[in-house]
């Protein structure tokens, strides 16, 4: 049983249900909406930058599977309701992909199955597989499927590598900062 003093599970993630944690998760959802919207407005290559993926993966690393689920599920839905992106044809696949990222990354982080680098790499691969399967099942692509896959997946490889390299450091900094703030009081 968790006591009121416990802030994280094995110091690997921050406790999901504190007011401060929920506020930061909604901040991540907001960033997961604002950054892609700005990217679309400025005509940045979103398939190359994967702007929504960053916040979802970070949520899983910092807040465990519950935070990853919350941010992964709500970011694309609320973004669509506000901005119209992701496009309706790809929205179900994006919801499944991002939710998978958040949950898998969060489970691995929360239960210390792998280090954060490996957790991200596995989560990204599994999330992309879920995306591919859901695109196939919903028939939400145009043209030849293999050409669509190349155009949809290859541009994001560099962003995925950056996520694997940078997000563990950001997550560890965030967790340590939160634990230090908690220990002050």
| Exposed e or buried b per residue across 12-32, where buried means at least 16 C-beta atoms within 10 angstroms of its C-beta | bbbbbeeeebeebbeebbebb
In a domain? residue 55: yes
What would the pLDDT profile of 45-55 be if each residue is shown by its tens digit? 999 999 999 99
pLDDT tens per residue, range 60-94: 999 999 999 999 999 999 999 999 999 999 999 99
Q: What phi and psi values does residue 8 have, to the nearest 5 degrees?
A: -140, 170
Asked if the structure places residue 112 within a domain, the reply is: yes
Residue 120 falls inside a structural domain: yes
Does residue 10 lie in a domain region?
no
For residue 169, give the nearest of 116, 119, 124 by alpha carbon: 116
> Is 63 inside any structural domain?
yes
State the CATH number of the domain containing residue 48.
1.10.1760
CA torsion sign, 27 to 58 to 73 to 2? negative
In a domain, 12, yes or no: no
Per-residue pLDDT of the chain (185 residues; tens, 9 = 90+): 333 333 443 458 888 788 989 999 999 999 999 999 999 999 999 999 999 999 999 999 999 999 999 999 999 999 999 999 999 999 999 999 999 999 999 999 988 878 999 999 999 999 999 999 999 999 988 889 999 999 999 999 999 999 999 999 999 999 999 888 766 65
Assess contact for 69 and 109: CB atoms under 8 A: no
The pairing of beta strand 13-14 with beta strand 8-9: antiparallel
Separation CA 144–CA 93 (nearest Å):
18
- Mean pLDDT for the chain overall: 90
DSSP classification of residue 14? E
Q: What is the domain count for the chain?
A: 1
Which token pair is 182?
Answer: 């908690």
Indicate whether 44 belongs to any domain.
yes
User: What domain range is 97 assigned to?
Assistant: 36-178
Residue 28 is assigned to a structural domain of this protein: no
């Amino acid at each position: 049983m968790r006591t009121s003093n416990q802030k994280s599970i094995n110091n690997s993630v921050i406790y999901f249900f504190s007011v401060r944690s929920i506020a930061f998760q909604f901040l991540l959802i907001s960033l997961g909406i604002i950054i892609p919207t700005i990217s679309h407005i400025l005509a940045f290559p979103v398939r190359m930058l994967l702007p929504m993926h960053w916040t979802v993966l970070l949520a899983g690393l910092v807040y465990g599977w519950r935070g990853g689920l919350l941010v992964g599920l709500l970011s694309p839905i609320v973004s669509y309701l506000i901005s119209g992106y992701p496009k309706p044809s790809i929205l179900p696949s994006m919801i499944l992909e991002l939710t998978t990222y958040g949950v898998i990354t969060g489970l691995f982080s929360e239960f210390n199955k792998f280090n954060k680098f490996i957790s991200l790499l596995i989560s990204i691969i599994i999330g992309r597989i879920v995306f591919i399967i859901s695109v196939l099942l919903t028939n939400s692509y145009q043209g030849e499927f293999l050409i669509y896959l190349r155009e949809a997946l290859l541009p994001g490889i560099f962003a995925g590598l950056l996520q694997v390299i940078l997000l563990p450091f950001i997550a560890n900094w965030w967790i340590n900062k939160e634990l230090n703030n908690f220990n002050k009081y």
